[in-house]
């Protein structure tokens, strides 16, 4: 699989990553031994399941090509293949950064290109 994959993180974590050149692994990433990512089809459910109601989030659009062999596709929810990164998420892999505004219902508003 190629193209783009996505990482949700706090605005503060992204600010540090932008300065230091790499995104620090989240608590969940450290626990599981890889960086959790999603596809364009999976991102909305990931937001609801793991980030609902959390303010100040951003969505990183990542180049699967730049992530290279460290990007593995593994079965997760309902047997779906999810992208998992076994390595560092460096600034070079980030194609764009979008705000994920929190709406009054507690859900985040995805960038228009990812709304389904």
- 48-103 confidence digits (pLDDT tens): 999 999 999 999 999 999 999 999 999 987 888 999 999 999 999 999 999 999 99
For residues 61 and 4, the answer to whether their CB atoms sit within 8 Å is yes
User: What is the dotted CATH code of the domain comprising 4-111?
Assistant: 3.20.170.20
pLDDT tens sequence across 3-40: 999 999 999 999 999 899 999 999 999 999 999 999 99
* pLDDT value of residue 2: 53
Residue 94 pairs in a beta bridge with 62
pTM of the complete model:
0.93
Neighbours of 29 (CB within 10 A): 19
Domain boundaries, the chain: 4-111
- The secondary structure of 3-15 as a DSSP string is SEEEEEEEHHHHH
């Amino acid at each position: 699989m190629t193209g783009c994959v996505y990482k949700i993180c706090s605005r503060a974590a992204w600010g540090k990553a932008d300065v230091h050149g790499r995104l620090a692994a989240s608590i969940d990433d450290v626990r599981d031994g890889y960086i959790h990512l999603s596809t364009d089809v999976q991102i909305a459910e990931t937001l609801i399941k793991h980030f609902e109601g959390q303010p100040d989030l951003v969505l990183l659009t990542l180049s699967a090509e730049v992530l290279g062999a460290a990007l593995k596709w593994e079965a997760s929810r309902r047997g779906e293949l999810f992208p998992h990164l076994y390595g560092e998420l460096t600034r070079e892999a980030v194609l764009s950064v979008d705000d994920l505004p929190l709406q009054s219902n507690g859900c985040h508003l995805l960038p228009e290109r990812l709304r389904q």
